[in-house]
Amino acid sequence: MSEIIIQGGRRLEGTVRVQGAKNSVLPVLAATILHPGQTVLRGCPHLSDVEASIRILRHLGCSAQWEGEELVVDTSSMDRWDVPDHLMREMRSSVIFLGAILARLGWAEMSYPGGCELGPRPIDLHLATLRRLGAVIREEGGGLRCEAHHMAGREIALSLPSVGATENAILAACGAEGETVIVNAAREPEIEDLQTYLRAIGCAVRGAGSSTVCVEGRRETHDAVHTIMPDRIAAATYLAAVAAAGGEVELENVDCRHLSTVTAALHEAGCQVEGGEGRACLRSRERLRAIGTVRTAAYPGFPTDAQALLMAAMLRARGSTMFVENIFANRYRHVDELRRMGADISVAGRVAVVTGVPRLYGAELRCTDLRGGAAMLVAGLSAEGVTRVGDIHHIRRGYEDPVRDLRALGADIRLET
């Protein structure tokens, strides 16, 4: 068992480079299946979820090897269409392989995915989009048996702008005959990055970043090199950390357009935020102040993945801040752990009210999920005394090395096994 141990109370100063985006690299790894050849991924973060995707690719008969900081994937030898239960359970986004496998081979078998328990996240919408394209899907024995030898382009109107369903629809549509139009598509930047990769290998996809995405299927593909976009949630984590602990930090490898709702909230709380080409700088020189209601929403609204991070930054702010979680039902599981540090947080359904306290105190905490665990690191940096954070396998799903990055900014933090 490993723990992250933090001695709080130190201001953060310096520069850190933000990793490649977890929520971009996972669908791109699934998309490599569409091209029976080689893809070189640059800026690919070393995450446990990435390793889980690599294990799925290797099980399918593909090659995936690290060469320095690049990940080289070759799917030319792919000879399987099944993903076993133990690999599916490692992460929720494993379901994204379904559309890609169907597009490549016309068959797919897998169980239901695992991942963080953030409340109901049914894959019904994923399955409905694939059926709309002509896939025949049977749900039996806790698994999925899918056949799609004659997929044809259609208009797919999503009932809600689900990121995963949008990505699955795009990947499956690349193997369908004719044009597919996806209406009410999710608009997240990571979908734009997926489009960039698909275009690089020769697929005809346009409209990502808007609510309508068009895919012209059955295009000839070729080898490509692709650089993964910066991780906007990792960037938000480090901005929240310096807001909470105080100091001045510059982030490299960021796109400030993707952080606008987060930086606006931190600016309202009293931080000075500046952005430039590929960089962002935040200064926090005094105790934060409460801000207006924070409501999570699909992009370009405030990201649900940053809700716990901003909440951790506001624990010592003057006044009360209300959070309304509109995406996931169980996204306040970190609250009980933060209360162990002396935080004043009340929760009623999807609403949480944070009333700032003068001091937080170090405590022994357990990660509840990926972003909740990161929030505990943020809170620990501004607390008095020692904070010990356990069950950090959740954090490793989405952060390459937060201990390294925070130490580079002057934090007294270490990993203890």
Which residues are designated catalytic? Answer: 116
Query: CA–CA separation, 89 vs 110, rounded Å?
Result: 10
HEC sequence for 252-312: ECCCHHHHHHHHHHHHHCCCEEEEECCEEEEEECCCCECCCCEEECCCCCECHHHHHHHHH
Residues 214, 216, 222: CA angle, nearest 5 degrees: 120
CA atoms within a 13 Å half-sphere pointing along the CA-CB vector of 339: 11
- Residues linked to residue 386 through DSSP beta bridges, in sequence order: 7
Query: CA–CA separation, 175 vs 154, rounded Å?
Result: 12
Per-position b or e across 86-103, b if 16+ CB within 10 A of its CB: ebbebbbbbbbbbbbbbb
Q: Are 305 and 371 in contact (CB under 8 A)?
A: yes
3-class secondary structure, 30? helix
Strands 364-366, 386-390: pairing is: parallel
